[in-house]
Structure 1
């Protein structure tokens, strides 16, 4: 303190009257603390972890049950005939033939009853979907060898499997349990899944895609892909790097299963990994994480090579067959995505007006990739992610985002969705890949990846709104509990956290109901026409097989190269497989893989005059001719009329009039009588192989 004379004086406190001290009891002597043993860290298999595991397991159980219920409703399974495939046309017959071959022979690579006498060698047509054929074997054992029941059963099984796989991805996205279950069920019932159906049964096996997308999400977040966690004796957690155990082993197994489930989904995941790795490096500055992501790509390529190794060895032994898998350079444009098509209702929407909107769009704006749709919930989620991505790019300065938070995950999903869209849309980056390898052409199939990301974005947006509502509720509660300022009154009531949870649960339930109703496409339901066609074919081929000796072979007209030849009168080359599906021992000329003399000789022999044609096929060993009238432009008149003269009227006609059968009879006997067995064998080789 400074006095008036300018001299600083020491400060003197002002004395205040204090109350007299209260007498306190004397402290009581307490015993010295007893040394107790340290409580050991709770082991990994403790009750807490078991309870957490049980809680997560219940989520998977709910997702499986709800996906089964949705499939039951969407496929109208209560009125389905399980002994008849849900789809019985085009590529569905090809997938069914793989089931038949696997159940009959143990594997799908060789079918001796097709392409007689050479057989069907599928090594000529590169095919790596081995996982689904393993499932075909399992389903064949379960159903006692009934391929139709096994075929239908596996398709229905893809629904709960897809839901279970999606739950894991969605939980990794930090979604709550109820929201993850709802979004997983909608992913399993995605329009893409129902459109692929049994026509592309192996593409319907989408259940490993969300599992593999977890690897992509980890790379984006800068999380490790290799190594395993171990708990030490003091309770701390250490990470031991190992490829053979823990997370590293899971990464290797996931990639192997993904490659064996289909080349497209594996390529999609590897492309997203290739984009995510440098982005993660730029954001997290971790070269070890970047190296881990690169090693994942290397492991994926090794799995690709392993899957193609049997076909490569076959080609080295028997020569390559480039004609078997010939794709046009313009296919990548025809089978690309439309962004507007993704947002429009799906084909055969349950609401006719919306279905007609899709027809209107597809008629005016092909290609066929325009059929791909996200569904209502997926479309909203995609727009949410698109808005988040644009906002982040246009915002000059951003608040730092906590790694692993909801906002961070939404940003990662937005980036992945944007990259996937840029790859798959018309004129997108996928076109550059198709220039290098035309076999990768159907980029619209990326829609299932975008669907997964969009549904996760929708769920996170829903929970973000709920979190804001919870914060506002807490703020209102604090305002309500505090005394209001003088002269003011507090308006509005409180909305408790239990009410918030109830609201979110209600919204999740409504989302599930609306999503299932929106995605219940009519094309997925088994039709009476399918059942009638299947029953007619079954009766026809049973009568043909009963009229011939065991192991007899029949020649199929018209000749159609297999696979992937032009459609005729709404029929495809896969219709040649119908005989295989309905017989046990009968052999057929059709469906041998094109591109080799042993299968292409059919095109030469059908061009011969009728007499020579019948004589040659009799020498080769055929016992009759089947004509598919519907696979011609004149109802089979140009094929059946020349056969009536030498063979007489057909002895078996299908109930729907589509197929007719002519036994060779005397023509075959005369051809066999003119030659010795040695001469006949040599002649057969000249016909089928072009050699003596």
Structure 2
């Protein structure tokens, strides 16, 4: 007779696959309805302010030829890069870039829906792997995909794809068996290795935070698995997997390291402190309390009272586990500390209980995460983002408890088995009602407002792009430093134009602390007349003004630009912004010129401005216009001690030499080749403190007046 077992196993796998797809579709449908996505066009994004606009900019830039290392359509006139602000999100980027090809709004919403489906599938698969029957696994998948985190973190788009938690748990369970099992058939052996490799890649390319949390999960699991097996082999396997994840992260950071080696590290961006780990840490109350705006008024009031009275309420308030997850969290404590309870659960669920408690100890305010930030690195600051990991492991423990309870009741009351489907459906409904707050649902008015704003911005930006040649430079006002610089407009508001008209070169997005950011900051300190002089000299074709913010200087700039260029106005349909297009054709007469590396902060006294340097300070220039040739600039330099200064380009070609003294300003006239983007001032006497109590090492002093234009004028123009 034929062994029926393989056929039965295949049938069971098919049924599990069908159930997994069903719960993924169910969760996606609930999310679509519960967010109010259906109350507006799918092309209108669910979020269109702040971080979502930055995500759109990054995804769009990733899709272009230069990637994030060379972004042409932002930071005009220099162009810019985003590798100073790395995220390690290659997999998320690849998925999003595909979805966003149909437009930012549609892509944003499709990514959200896909993240729900993937999270539900991953939750179902890992729950089955942990010994749960299909019914309890369905509950885990549904509750995991519909964690309040998934609704409240829409603005942080990539964090909604927290499937990494399930993959990290699967890798943790794999530590119990050889990664390369010689007892298995060759095909199965290599498939197993390939699955582990793909899991490492996924964990390492879905964000630095999730990669780091995965490593913590694996480190804890290595200890548990090694202790259980009384062997170091699980720990050795963990080291191999951790190495794989770390390599994936490191590969993604190569552009950042390369850029830092070439241009120096940017101290103005992404610098974190230990205290932020305390500020953004987890709180037990926030995990266990009901979701904001719970359907039951008493529970909603309880949460409101806590939020109104507690200290340090920020993004950590999105860590709510829901009733089922909270029950699993408390049950994890019993499993961990009561052996009699622990023995009733299979090993995989015991491991989940250990992970729940361990991760909480790490991420809670004042926990091990704070010690890590103090002693190792403070860069992983928002420890509350570990909550989906805690949520998944808690849900598996809770579902395991329900499974044990069900088995006990069914043995005593066999008639219950007939109603298993109804009971499961009842639990699923309760999970949805408990975790999905009515407050998550956008009203028709909210969706209509976002759609109108989105369409207005698109019509405006595309209308401007249709009137200008591709690559035209557009100055945006008010000036808003990038990144992480909140202003009156709201962070990243000006990226709305980049998203809708990527063919134009916009000024917003210039990386703070780099030449493009330094130059824009300097230009925006100029008086209105000089500001317009610079725009014309560098070749900006249009000026875009956000009408939501106004100042006398902006009005003066608008007036002078209009008068000088006979500008044609283009206003957005919602009047939120307007563009002034030059009706007078002109060509650029200069390149942007600014400080780059090796300079202390600028000092001023009246109209006199100066900057002290370290050794070998540099200046940067924007790209030269095609066929423009060399440009001329004049440097006025003094020094802390008498020294010789050699001015060289990035290829080592000497452009000028001069003797510089402390008591007098030396004027150096430079003619810079068209292909040169950086010049270096090589001083033969090292920087040293001035001896007047100023501890800074000083070498050269660059002198200029407050109204000096940061330009390098084309030599052909100067001769004419």
The TM-score bracket by the shorter chain reads: 0.7 to 0.9
Shifted more, 185-194 versus 431-440: the winner is 431-440
Distance 1:382 1:560 in 2: 44
SS at 1:111's partner residue? coil
Of the three residues 78, 88, 94, the one matched with 2:48 is 88
Tell me, yes or no, if structure 1 residue 209 matches structure 2 residue 168.
Answer: no
- Aligned match for 1:76, one of 26, 30, 36: 36
Per the alignment, in what secondary structure is the counterpart of residue 48 of structure 2? Answer: coil
Distance 1:118 1:350 in 2: 52
- Would you say 1:310 and 2:255 are equivalent positions? yes
Distance 1:109 1:277 in 2: 37
Equivalent-residue separation in structure 2 for 1:225 and 1:203 (angstroms): 32
Identify the residue that residue 465 of structure 1 maps to in structure 2. Answer: 405
2:513 to 575, 595, 605: 595
Is 1:516 aligned with 2:432?
yes
Asked if structure 1 preserves the Cα contact closer than 8 Å seen for 2:470 and 2:503, the reply is yes
Q: Give the match for residue 605 of structure 1.
A: 523
Report the TM-score, using the length of structure 2 for normalisation. Answer: 0.76
Q: State whether residues 208 and 258 of structure 1, in contact with CA within 8 Å, keep that contact through their aligned partners in structure 2.
A: yes
Deviations 1:216-249 (A, max 9, x none): 2444xxx2151247xxxxxxxx347999714333
Aligned to 1:437: 377
What is the deviation of 1:576? 1.9
Counterpart among 137, 144, 147 of residue 190 in structure 1? 147
Alignment of 1:419-498 (within 5 A): 419-435=358-374, 436-471=376-411, 473=412, 495-496=413-414
Match of residue 12 from structure 1: none
Aligned pairs (5 A) from 1:106-505: 107-140=67-100, 145-197=102-154, 199-219=155-175, 223-228=176-181, 238-239=183-184, 245-349=190-294, 354-355=299-300, 357-365=302-310, 366-368=312-314, 369-392=316-339, 398=340, 401=343, 406-435=345-374, 436-471=376-411, 473=412, 495-496=413-414, 499-505=415-421
SS of alignment partner, residue 123 of structure 1: coil
Task: Say if 2:560 is the partner of 1:614.
Answer: no
Residues 99 and 82 (structure 1), Cα distance of their counterparts in 2 relative to 1, 3 Å cut: farther
Using the TM superposition, name which of 202-211 and 51-60 deviates more.
51-60
- What is the distance in 2 between the residues matched to 1:691 and 1:644? 25
Specify whether residues 506 and 585 from structure 1 end up closer, same or farther in structure 2 by C-alpha distance, changes over 3 A only: same
1:55 counterpart residue number: 15
Matches of 1:469 and 1:428, distance apart in 2: 40
In the alignment, what sits opposite 2:453? 533
Report if the CA contact (8 A) 1:344-1:373 is conserved. Answer: yes
**Given the superposition, is the C-alpha separation of residues 354 and 538 from structure 1 closer, same or farther in structure 2, using an over 3 Å criterion?**
farther
Aligned-pair RMSD on alpha carbons? 3.2
Find the aligned partners of 2:221 and 2:587 in 1 and give their Cα distance: 69
Equivalent position of 1:3 in the other structure: none
Runs of at least 5 residues in structure 2 that lack an aligned partner in the other structure = 591-623, 634-673, 679-708, 715-720
Matched with 1:36 is none
The 1:386–1:506 alpha-carbon spacing in structure 2 relative to 1, beyond 3 Å, is farther
CA drift of 1:364 comes to: 2.8
Q: How many residues align?
A: 598
Question: Equivalents in 2 of 1:441, 1:646: separation in Å?
Answer: 44
In structure 2, the CA distance between the partners of 1:671 and 1:399, relative to structure 1 (3 Å rule), is closer
Larger Rg: 1
Note the C-alpha offset of 1:667: 9.9
Instruction: Find the counterpart in structure 2 of residue 22 from structure 1.
Output: none
Q: CA deviation at 1:627?
A: 2.1
Identify, as 1 or 2, the structure richer in strand: 2
Measured against aligned partners, the alpha-carbon deviations of 1:1-39 in whole angstroms (never above 9, x if no partner) come to: xxxxxxxxxxxxxxxxxxxxxxxxxxxxxxxxxxxxxx7
Question: What SS class does the counterpart of residue 592 from structure 1 fall into?
Answer: coil
TM-score of the pair, normalised by structure 1: 0.79
**Which SS does the other structure have where 1:380 is aligned?**
helix
The CA distance in 2 between the partners of 1:670 and 1:255, in whole Å, is 50
Determine whether 1:660 maps to 2:578. yes
Instruction: State the SS of the aligned residue for 1:578.
Output: helix
Asked whether the 8 Å contact 1:629–1:659 carries over to 2, the reply is yes
Aligned mates of 2:281, 2:200 — CA distance in 1: 25
3-state SS of paired residue (1:179): helix
Q: CA deviation at 1:513?
A: 0.9
For structure 1, the 5+ residue unaligned runs are 1-38, 230-237, 393-397, 474-494
* Higher helix content, 1 or 2: 1
Write the deviation string for residues 425-462 of structure 1: whole angstroms up to 9, x where unpaired.
11111112223222201100111011101111221111
2-structure distance, mates of 1:96, 1:87: 11
Equivalent residues of 1:413, 1:457 under 8 A apart:
yes
Compare 651-660 and 556-565 and name the one that shifted more: 651-660
